[in-house]
Amino acid sequence: MMSNSVKNLKTGSPSGRIVKALSGYYYVLPDGADPHGATVQCRARGVFKKKGINPLVGDEVLYSLTENGEGTVEEILPRSSELIRPPVSNVDLAILVFSVTEPTLNLQLLDKFLVHIEHAGIEPLLCLSKRDLEAEGDETEEARKATEDVRRIYGAIGYEVYGTSSRRGEGVEALHERLRGHIAVFAGQSGVGKSSLLNAIVPGLALETNEISNRLGRGKHTTRHVELIEVGGAYVADTPGFSQLDFTELGIEDLGYCFKEMRELAPSCKFRACTHVHEPGCAVLAAVEDGGVAESRHRHYVQFLTEMKEKKRRY
Ligand code: GDP
Ligand code: ZN
């Protein structure tokens, strides 16, 4: 991490946030400026490249102005988080979107996403989308049960659960309100309604949804630049975000830490390096036994652990 150099602060370099990156340019919104006002088009100082540092959208920076009205990014202030996909820094809230049906709610996938969000040090928030389908009774018995499970299991762990219908505009305002003061990304499987939700929250955004891209007969996952959109005191990354995840960046020893309720119980395990699989005196296993930890959560934890061990063996 880079230090917030006193020298630079003394020179009084203006500060701002990179809200967009495109073709080697960084667009910096000056601190205190109208969030919908002009940005300063900046190049990064050559030294960043030499050091292998990439300025990211979301970075708080110090910059200097050049004669032509453009600027130079002089320094990147310490980041609170860093995502690789989408490439955004300082995100502090991830809205994990799952539809009540179409596609069917998959708790294993939900846990997988949660692991990654926890690993990135970002606060997750669960959002059950397409509530109108639930209300209309369009969903299967299986989906209804999964919806109940989400509220029961994840609410008990301490995760906030929101419900929305972009189609009817329900729950969108409450979610928007929750974003205030944060830099947020939307994550979730393709087709759960992330783009629709973003479009509902950000007026005029007009993100392409599946419906439109299918009609045009092209894939939805065209690479596009990331941009932070200011909306009512919050920033959201205008990208449908991560929809595919794997465990390559996650160490096996980190997994237990990424399950919030297990992380909280781990200090009570008899062994310090307890993996919560078969050890005697394991507080997590005891909690699974008496219902304090959901069986599905522990099962997925063991599945991910096995998956990671097998992957490691193959290399
Ligand atoms: P993404 O891949 O997660 O960005 O999902 P999209 O926003 O592209 O939506 C996928 C499909 O679900 C599209 O056909 C949308 O019209 C539909 N959809 C999105 N939100 C809702 C909703 O609230 N209710 C219903 N019934 N359908 C929705
Ligand atoms: Zn244990």
The closest ligand to the CA of 268 turns out to be: 2
Q: How far apart, in whole angstroms, are the C-alpha atoms of residue 236 and residue 208? A: 16
CATH number at residue 71: 2.40.50.140
Q: Are residues 218 and 308 in the same domain?
A: no
Q: Are residues 106 and 216 in the same domain?
A: yes
Q: Are residues 67 and 103 in the same domain?
A: no
Q: Are residues 108 and 157 in the same domain?
A: yes
Please count the other Cβ atoms lying within 10 Å of the Cβ belonging to residue 26: 25
- Span from the CA of 266 to the centroid of ligand 2 (angstroms): 6
By C-alpha distance, which of 113, 19, 93 is closest to 63? 19
- Span from the CA of 87 to the centroid of ligand 2 (angstroms): 34
Q: Are residues 177 and 94 in the same domain?
A: yes
Global pTM reads 0.86
The DSSP-derived string for 7-65 is HHHHHT--EEEEEEEETTEEEEEETTS-TTSPPEEEEEPHHHHHHT----BT-EEEEEE
Better-predicted residue by pLDDT, 239 or 34: 34
Check: CB of residue 139 under 8 Å from CB of residue 145. no
Residue 132's pLDDT band (boundaries 50, 70, 90)? Answer: confident
Question: Domain for residue 298, yes or no?
Answer: yes
Question: Domain for residue 213, yes or no?
Answer: yes
Q: Are residues 57 and 109 in the same domain?
A: no
Q: How far apart, in whole angstroms, are the C-alpha atoms of residue 20 and residue 137? A: 42
> Of 77, 101, 131, at which residue does a domain stop?
77
Q: How far apart, in whole angstroms, are the C-alpha atoms of residue 98 and residue 102? A: 10
- Structural domain span for residue 310: 252-314
- Span from the CA of 35 to the centroid of ligand 1 (angstroms): 29
Structurally, the chain folds into a number of domains equal to: 3
Q: Are residues 108 and 232 in the same domain?
A: yes
What's residue 217's pLDDT?
Answer: 40
Segment among 52-66, 81-95, 165-179, 223-237 with least mean pLDDT: 223-237
CATH number at residue 211: 3.40.50.300
If you search the block for the tokens 């299967």, which residue do you land on? 140
Structure tokens at 136: 């209309």
Residue 219's pLDDT band (boundaries 50, 70, 90)? Answer: very low
